Homo-oligomer: A and B are copies of this chain.
Amino acid sequence: MATHRIAVIAGDGIGNEVMPEGLRVMQAAARRFNIDLQFTTMEWANCDYYLEHGQMMPSDWYAQLKDFDAIYFGAVGWPDKVPDHISLWGSLLKFRREFDEYVNLRPVRLMPGVPCPLANKKPGDIDFYVVRENTEGEYSSVGGRMFEGTERETVLQESVFTRKGVDRILKYAFELAQSRPKKHLTSATKSNGIAISMPYWDERVETMAPQFPEVRWDKYHIDILAARFVLSPERFDVVVASNLFGDILSDLGPACTGTIAIAPSANINPERTFPSVFEPVHGSAPDIYGQNIANPIGMIWSGAMMLDFLGNGDANYTAAHDAVLRAIEQVLEHGPRTPDMGGSASTTEMGMAVAALL
């Protein structure tokens, strides 16, 4: 039996409250399915660490982490302590880039028991993936200011798209679409307004499509695509998007299915050269931290994605993933539920309920 080494980084705020529940459920699943998970907790990559050390992580973070099989990650950011662009670029965004986790995979699924903000939708109606490019594009710290501090002040911000970066995310998305019953892919673009990078993105989609003759595909400008997430979410199967567009769509999608508190995500290095990061879509929510009321489902569901990834196709791991998902569905439907879902359970109670079903 293989041992899977997992680094645990709770981060800031409610990251510290949902992580114990994630671990609780992972341990229950590991026992039941006889999977060997070995967790190592890192006390850094949080804003308190920054205040003490002037950096988010120790200088040897890369060496410390690189041989893990996965990183189980809570949430980072506490704007009153450290500006977001410092805390995030000093932790999560470093992992994504330096561990080449170029796929950010985010399921969007309407779950039982979750009131849907859209009218007349039932569980099963909405069920798709956002495949987000996770290392380049609009997320860039390249650029600068000219005529700083004067009336002429001009700020340049570079987006960087490479053929390698675009092609590999498109390939992942086409393959995912190919593996699904509907075999449909939607590409997010904005080539009518963003005149250099987005026409290039479109070109690469068109170049790759013939390699996947079974996949039907279309493209939408991001403005109308966002509108369609609200007006006709049923029609999507796999949506592929640049870093920024994927970020927006993977918060909007979960909002359309009721709550971003339960949405999971996987930052994947498909080649497994580096550890992949599994984290809930929600942030650190300093405003509700300390009350033990944060919804742990996003953290737990991300853990299920981690099990699936670690199994790399092994049926036992897939079964473990599916069992966690079924336990989540049961708890969402019958409670206990945290206050954000209209219940009065604590984070701990909700996590224990999921674990108990395993």
Question: Which residue of the partner chain B has the closest CB to A153?
Answer: B163
Asked if A223 is at the interface of the complex by the 8 Å CB criterion, the answer is yes
Contacts of A194 in B (CB 8 A): 138-140, 157, 244
Contacts of A164 in B (CB 8 A): 151-152
Q: Mark A125-158, 1 if CB is under 8 A from B, else 0.
A: 0000000000000111111110000111111111
Question: Which residue of the partner chain B has the closest CB to A163?
Answer: B153
* Interface pair B255/A227, CB less than 8 Å apart: yes
Question: Which residue of the partner chain B has the closest CB to A246?
Answer: B223
Q: Whole-angstrom distance between the alpha carbons of A163 and B195 in the complex?
A: 23
Asked if A252 is at the interface of the complex by the 8 Å CB criterion, the answer is yes
Q: Mark A180-208, 1 if CB is under 8 A from B, else 0.
A: 00000000001111111111100000000
Asked if A222 is at the interface of the complex by the 8 Å CB criterion, the answer is yes
Chain A binding surface, main DSSP class: mixed
Question: Which residue of the partner chain B has the closest CB to A191?
Answer: B85
Question: Which residue of the partner chain B has the closest CB to A219?
Answer: B79
Contacts of A243 in B (CB 8 A): 193
Asked if A345 is at the interface of the complex by the 8 Å CB criterion, the answer is no
Asked if A325 is at the interface of the complex by the 8 Å CB criterion, the answer is no
Taking each of A89, A195, A221, A250, which has the highest tally of chain B beta carbons within 10 Å of its own beta carbon? A195
CB distance from A45 to the nearest CB of B (A): 15
Contacts of A198 in B (CB 8 A): 85, 157
**Residues of A with Cβ closer than 8 Å to B?**
77, 83-85, 88-89, 93, 115-120, 138-145, 150-164, 190-200, 221-224, 226-228, 230-231, 243-244, 247-248, 250-252, 254-256, 259-260, 283
